[in-house]
Amino acid sequence: MKILVLGLDCAAPEILFGDERLTNIRRLMSLGAWGRLESVIPPITVPAWMCYATSQDPGSLGVYGFRNRTDHSYAGLGFATSRSIQELAIWDQLAREGKRSIILGVPPNFPPRKVNGISVGCFLTPSTSDPSVPYTYPPEIAAEIADLVGEYETDVKGFRTNDKAWLRDSIFRMSKKFWTVVQDFASRDDWDYFQCVDIGLDRVHHGFWKYHDPEHVLHEPDSPFKDVIRDYYLHLDHEIGRVLAQLDENTVVLVMSDHGARRLDGGFCINEWLVREKLLVLHEYPKAVTPFEKLKVNWAETRAWSEGGYYARIFLNVKGREAEGRIGGSAEDYGGFRDELRSRLEAVVPGTLVFKPEEIYKTVKNVAPDLIVHFGGLAYRSIGGVGYDSADPSIRRSAELVILENDTGPDDCNHAQFGAFILASGNLPLQGEIEGARLLDLAPTLLELVGSDVPSSMQGRSLIGAAVRGELTLDQEQIIRERLSGLGYLG
Ligand SMILES: [Zn+2]
């Protein structure tokens, strides 16, 4: 049996399952099992897609976002690349059994992974037209793609823009090229595992959510862009239908997202808050809003600082760990300080969640943040810049440190903890809506369905075993008993 994984970056379950016009999606739902899919913490594209593929949490991969501290210096953060993640992925396990894979745009995939088959770079690809820096493996695949679509595009550069007509047209153009390649490659018979990730959906959500969602603080009800998001789902449904039409019945089909989407209510200025609390100490308070890396930080007096982004990563300045560490160093000082900071952060915006890495990850590798914060349950971004006390007060949403504007450009949407999945296969013993599936569960489930070994490094559970053990919410009729015996559950 073969496996086809259609990745829809950021697909929101309420739209994917709620729009009856998505006829190919509904056909898959009626054939198989589907439901919300709990993502990892943080629910971010890097590392989430590789958490799926390896069935390991971010701490075990040692990758906590697009950018990570590479050591305990104050030198800032390094970008994750495909080389940041060496753990065994589902396609590696299949390669051990001699099976071939095609992976298209699965982040992070630059430089392109060397798989037993074909690999095409993701949105982190700097250029698709520079043959000295190949974005495909093997490199000659790039010429085949150029024959199909001309200049292949892996992302819309500058997608945080107010030129929405340009953005809409650019995303659709990129996505049509992408699906042309997907359909051509999927029609070949030289793969056992095929996975692609459409990044256009993520860009559409971030660029157009305020027109789509009446609850958004900046909603414009009569905007010409009000249907762009729904139109994009229709486009995806059409393209998915064309891929499905090429498959034979011995294919397990998984449609999935790495996380969901939700409206963004604003941003919380985390470093500004740390300055006010005298935990982040500056030699000089800036006269205008200034990115964190350009601030003159008095490290010897600083206890904590943070990165901005969809969530906050708080780093503590610890004696014996950081060069100019300020916090005690003994476990008690560190632990006591961190617990107190956690409580204070939980109170800054209602619904805020604060996580300690060792509480949510099986292991904690590389340099993890000391705390991970989802402001307002991801209703608010984390704003890393400082200088809002000098800035025009009208950008404030409230007297507190919540602002409407985003410091990295227009953005209407944040990621949500729950993405979506639809799994359809002739031998799947599950049917209908299932509650309780997690991102890490899918790779073991797929391997089980095709009769492959599940490597011990994988941390998720097969959804089939979980259903049999009663760990998922579903009706007993949703378990199809005669198919369980084919998978060895009924002796
Ligand atoms: Zn994503």
The residues, any chain, with a CB within 8 Å of residue 392's CB and separated by 6 or more, are none
Would you say residue 398 has pLDDT above 80?
no
The pLDDT-based confidence of 159 (bands split at 50, 70, 90) is confident
Would you say residue 312 has pLDDT above 90?
yes
Q: How far is the CA of 259 from the centre of ligand 1 (A)?
A: 6
Closest CA to 285 of 301, 297, 293: 297
Q: What are phi and psi of 178, to 5 degrees?
A: -55, -50
Q: How far is the CA of 296 from the centre of ligand 1 (A)?
A: 33
For residue 266, CA distances in Å to 311, 390, 411, 412, 481 come to: 12, 19, 9, 9, 49
| pLDDT for residue 395 | 56
Would you say residue 452 has pLDDT above 60?
yes
Q: How far is the CA of 48 from the centre of ligand 1 (A)?
A: 7
| pLDDT for residue 285 | 94
| pLDDT for residue 223 | 95
Q: How far is the CA of 257 from the centre of ligand 1 (A)?
A: 7
Q: How far is the CA of 16 from the centre of ligand 1 (A)?
A: 15
Q: How far is the CA of 328 from the centre of ligand 1 (A)?
A: 38
Q: How far is the CA of 66 from the centre of ligand 1 (A)?
A: 11
DSSP 218: T
Would you say residue 292 has pLDDT above 60?
yes
Token pair for residue 213? 């969602």
Q: How far is the CA of 45 from the centre of ligand 1 (A)?
A: 3
Token pair for residue 296? 């003159």
The pLDDT-based confidence of 393 (bands split at 50, 70, 90) is low
Mean pLDDT, residues 436-462: 97
The pLDDT-based confidence of 394 (bands split at 50, 70, 90) is low
Percent of the chain scoring above 70 in pLDDT? 97
Q: Which residues pair with 27 in a beta bridge?
A: none
Q: How far is the CA of 113 from the centre of ligand 1 (A)?
A: 19
Closest CA to 119 of 95, 141, 99: 141
| pLDDT for residue 410 | 81
Q: Out of 25-29, 65-69, 353-357, 369-373, which region has the weakest mean confidence (pLDDT)?
A: 65-69
| pLDDT for residue 158 | 86
Q: How far is the CA of 230 from the centre of ligand 1 (A)?
A: 18
Q: How far is the CA of 150 from the centre of ligand 1 (A)?
A: 26
Mean pLDDT, residues 254-262: 98
Contact between 462 and 454 under an 8 Å Cβ cutoff? The reply is yes
Query: In 401-447, which ranges are E strands?
Result: 402-403, 413-416, 418-424, 432-433, 437-438
| pLDDT for residue 392 | 63
Would you say residue 427 has pLDDT above 80?
yes
pLDDT digits (tens, 9 = 90+) for 83-114: 999 999 999 999 999 999 999 999 999 999 99
Q: Which residues surround ligand 1, an ion (CB under 5 A)?
A: 9-10, 45, 258
Q: How far is the CA of 10 from the centre of ligand 1 (A)?
A: 5
Mean pLDDT, residues 474-483: 90
Mean pLDDT, residues 325-332: 83
Q: How far is the CA of 23 from the centre of ligand 1 (A)?
A: 24
Token pair for residue 238? 């059409």
Mean pLDDT, residues 297-319: 96
Q: How far is the CA of 135 from the centre of ligand 1 (A)?
A: 20
How many angstroms separate the CA atoms of 261 and 283, rounded? Answer: 39
Q: How far is the CA of 276 from the centre of ligand 1 (A)?
A: 33
The residues, any chain, with a CB within 8 Å of residue 51's CB and separated by 6 or more, are 40, 57, 58, 61, 439, 440
Q: How far is the CA of 253 from the centre of ligand 1 (A)?
A: 20
> How big is the chain by its Cα radius of gyration, in Å?
23
pLDDT digits (tens, 9 = 90+) for 224-249: 999 999 999 999 999 999 999 999 88
Closest CA to 10 of 218, 226, 206, 253: 206
The pLDDT-based confidence of 119 (bands split at 50, 70, 90) is very high
Average of per-residue pLDDT values in the chain: 94
Mean pLDDT, residues 261-268: 94
Q: How far is the CA of 78 from the centre of ligand 1 (A)?
A: 19
Q: What are phi and psi of 97, to 5 degrees?
A: -95, 15
Q: How far is the CA of 340 from the centre of ligand 1 (A)?
A: 32
pLDDT digits (tens, 9 = 90+) for 462-474: 999 999 999 999 9
Mean pLDDT, residues 151-171: 93
